[in-house]
Amino acid sequence: MSNVVPGVSPDAPAPSAVSNRPDVKRDAHPFSRSQLEGLMTKRFFYIQAFEIYGGVGGLYDYGPTGAALQANIINQWRNHFIIEEEMLELDTTIMTLADVLKTSGHVDKFADWMCKDLKNGEIFRADHLVEGVIEARLEGDKQARAKEAGESIAVPAEAAGGDDKKSKKKKVKSSAVKLDDALVAEYNSTLAQIDNFDGKQLGELIRKYDIRSPESGNEVSEPIEFNLMFESSIGPTGQVKGYLRPETAQGHFVNFQRLLEFNNGRVPFASAQIGKSFRNEISPRAGLLRVREFTMAEIEHFVDPEDKNHERFDEVKNIEVPLLAKDVQESGKTDITVKTIGEAVSAGVIDNQTLGYFIGRIYLFLVKIGIDATRLRFRQHMSNEMAHYASDCWDAEIHTSYGWIECVGCADRSAYDLTVHSKRTKKDLVVQKAHKEPKVYDAFVPTIIKKNIGPKFKKDAKIVEEAILEMDQKKLAELESQLKNGSAPLKVCTGQTFELTTDVVTVEMKTIRETVREFTPNVIEPSFGIGRIFYSLLEHSFWTRAEDQDRGVLSLPPLVAPIKALIVPISSNEKLAPLVKQVSRKLRSAGVASRVDDSNASIGRRYARNDELGTPFACTLDFASLSKGTMTLRERDSTAQRIGPIDQVIDVIRQLCDASLDWEGACKILPEYSGQQDVEA
């Protein structure tokens, strides 16, 4: 998985989060990643796992707010995909038999290149090392050139998002050394292709550019392959090897026949699974974006390879999506084209309706949970970057302060997986589809004469028989004509050649009446990295108040916000307590997750805490609530307050949460509250 797109400078500042509400001024201050990260820790969204033991790279624990946000995202996902489309949900094991992953290609190919500091043993991911060192040299070159020209190059870190870039690469210090123009060009070209190099090529770059361990200055070893799967052994003998799954997909494929039977033997159908997967990254970095344990949500949609149309295509065909097709990238550009899904499929930019349908559904899902549509694009994989199993692939990429991040892959895995598992296990993983009308055609058919083939070829008889049965029409035609002339040479998979004669096989043209077509279905796989979506959503939701840069706000949509409403008694007076309980109970029966904040903090501080938790609404109970039965409703983003009878306010919140009402609509129902507008000042 590669996140940096060739041609997109990773130094481009992140666009600030978009506000489409005139009453909310979200872009007064530039985005600060370190401030967001501070909030994540302070409010226990997530932290590095085993913090009190010093922490472990690439492992994160989600606290109450993070776990709830994640659960809400998953819940929306389940509704949007599984329930809405009647997918077959699975829960298969994480511990996976090594044999299965050998067959799928992961044991041989799921690896990164690493190299070692030859003296102190420090380990680097080879491409990251080359990238880091070259970027540092280019930075040093810039500094040297600026000095020469007498320019100042100090850029306010926050404004350029520079604090973030630095923290990512802090290992590699730059020093102001000017480089040849030709070398600068070479370095830039190397960086643009960094994801395409294999171990040998990375080794050549390391020698050519004398790349060394950044801290120690020591030489590093040749890159060697490191498989990214966590290995373990199942049972007490140590003889059954297992891996923690690197994706949930194989659990679908090995159960294909059971799923097909459950679906009454028909395709298309889709299975879906939400669960943990594992990748033993060499050097985890970028917070939640490159981790060792993560939650995925994967769909495997099984289709007839001859009919990739989709029944519900009409529902998405008019959705406009930002596309970055492979031919554009291959011509060195990154221009996004906005097209409707219908146009893109007609024009062949997107290969088929099913792929197009899922791209549309992915777009709708991401925007629904709060991803900024202007920072979302679908990028097609170029041929050299495709996974070993894929025949076409579009990634939903979301723009963050780390650049464009692959958050959803939508790949056409063709018949790859089912074919390899079927070959390995000798089990049929196929669909039988009745022709509407029987298909009648002529074809060459071989007849093997069993009683002769054994004695003639002895131990090789089986291999010869298999080779004959695998022949296509062209080869059979050739065989037929050769046999007419006496004998035919047959080359088998072992490399041996055998002489066929008509006493062991005959070939005749026959009329075939085919009532059933048997085929291995193709698989379209939308695969969601929930942690990456989660993090991107937080970046898109975070901003700071115009009047006070220290006051962060998480503008999470009510649909996914961990808590929907905060209940705030204006004081700790005991008289308010029964009312607080009552409102809490009423909100619960209305299906609104709420929380009481009856701490001693000032009401302004409690609102501020609430903003950091992303809670969209706050109900404030005061003495008027006791005497008049009213309650105020504060909206997080605008800090505006409205007032109304308690039951009416609760009903408005319920509607705001299930998205049947927006804040503008709420303001038409509830009058403005002017009593304590200055309480937050």
Cβ atoms of 65 and 43 closer than 8 Å: yes
Which string of x and - marks every residue 383-422 that binds a second copy (by CB under 8 A)?
--------------------------------------x-
Angle between helices 530-541 and 64-77 (to 10 degrees): 110
Interface pick for a second copy out of 95, 185, 434, 509 (rule CB under 8 A) = 95
Question: Which string of b and e fits 390-427 if b means at least 16 CB within 10 Å?
Answer: bebbbbbbbbbbbbbbbbbbbbbbbbbbbebbbeeeee
Tell which one of 136, 157, 184, 234 touches a second copy (CB under 8 A).
234
> Segment near a second copy (CB under 8 A), from 22-30, 184-192, 236-244, 544-552?
236-244
- Please say whether the beta carbons of 135 and 7 come within 8 A: no
Q: State both tokens at 635.
A: 């909206």
527 touches a second copy by CB under 8 A: no
In whole angstroms, the minimum distance from the beta carbon of 423 to a second copy comes to 12
> Which tokens go with 236?
């007490």
Among 231, 307, 327, 514, the residue binding a second copy under the rule CB under 8 A is 231
The nearest distance, CB 165 to a second copy, in angstroms, is: 24
564 binds a second copy (CB under 8 A): no
Place of tokens 């970095």: 285
Q: Kindly state whether residue 230 participates in binding a second copy, applying the rule CB under 8 A.
A: yes
47 contacts a second copy (rule: CB under 8 A): yes
Structure tokens at 396: 């939903």
How near is the Cβ of 71 to a second copy at its closest, in Å?
7
Question: Are the C-beta atoms of 611 and 563 separated by less than 8 Å?
Answer: no
Interface size with a second copy, residues (CB under 8 A): 77
Candidate residues 7, 15, 121, 438; the one interacting with a second copy per rule CB under 8 A? 121
Q: State which residue, 173 or 258, has the beta carbon closest to a second copy.
A: 258
Which of 4, 254, 553, 567 binds a second copy (CB under 8 A)? It is 254
Q: Which of 1, 8, 59, 172 is close enough to bind a second copy by CB under 8 A?
A: 59
Does position 63 interact with a second copy (CB under 8 A)? The reply is: yes
Backbone φ, ψ for residue 299 (5° rounding) = -115, 135
List, as one string, the DSSP characters of 191-226.
HHTGGG--HHHHHHHHHHTT---TTT---BPPPEEE
Helix (H) or strand (E) holding 566: strand 565-569
Q: Which stretch binds a second copy (CB under 8 A): 14-22, 176-184, 228-236, 643-651?
A: 228-236
Q: Using the rule CB under 8 A, which residue among 53, 455, 459, 486 binds a second copy? A: 53
DSSP class of residue 460?
G
Q: State the nearest-atom distance from the C-beta of 69 to a second copy, in Å.
A: 10
658 is a contact residue toward a second copy (CB under 8 A): no
List binders of a second copy among 267-286 (CB under 8 A): 271, 275-276, 278, 280-282
Tell me the CB-side half-sphere exposure of residue 189, using CA atoms within 13 A. 7
Query: Shortest Cβ distance from residue 301 to a second copy (Å)?
Result: 15
Closer to a second copy by Cβ: residue 326 or 421: 421
430 binds a second copy (CB under 8 A): no
For 441, phi and psi rounded to 5 degrees? -155, 160
Which C-beta is closer to a second copy: that of 234 or that of 445? Answer: 234
**Counting contacts by CB under 8 A, is residue 258 touching a second copy?**
yes
The string of DSSP letters for 623-636 reads: HHHHHH-EEEEEET
Structure tokens at 383: 């041929």
Tell me how far, at minimum, the Cβ of 243 lies from a second copy, in Å. 9
Cβ proximity to a second copy, 427 vs 575, nearer residue: 427
Residue 276 or residue 333: which is nearer to a second copy going by CB? 276
CA dihedral 544, 546, 547, 549 (to 10 degrees): 30
Looking at beta carbons only, is 193 or 232 nearer to a second copy? 232
Does position 580 interact with a second copy (CB under 8 A)? The reply is no
CB of 123 or CB of 184, closer to a second copy: 123
Contact window for a second copy (CB under 8 A) among 257-265, 352-360, 369-377, 381-389: 257-265
Inter-residue contact 621 to 606 (CB < 8 Å): no
Quick count: other Cβ atoms within 10 Å of Cβ 577?
A: 14
The smaller minimum CB distance to a second copy, of residues 145 and 595, is found at 595
479 versus 650: smaller Cβ distance to a second copy? 650
220 bridge partner residues: 117
Which x/- pattern over 586-615 shows residues binding a second copy (rule: CB under 8 A)? --x----x-x---x----------------
| Sheet of 231-234, strand order | 95-97, 240-244, 231-234
Provide the 8-state DSSP code for 509: E
Residues 436-455, interacting with a second copy (CB under 8 A): none
556 forms part of the interface with a second copy (CB under 8 A): no
The CA distance from 591 to 585, in Å, is: 10
Distance, CA of 661 to CA of 272 (rounded, Å) = 31
Cis peptide before 268 (omega within 30 of 0): yes
Q: Are 538 and 51 in contact (CB under 8 A)?
A: no
Q: Rounded distance, CA 279 to CA 260, Å?
A: 30
Nearer to a second copy, 104 or 641 (CB): 104
Q: Closer to a second copy at the Cβ: 277 or 536?
A: 277
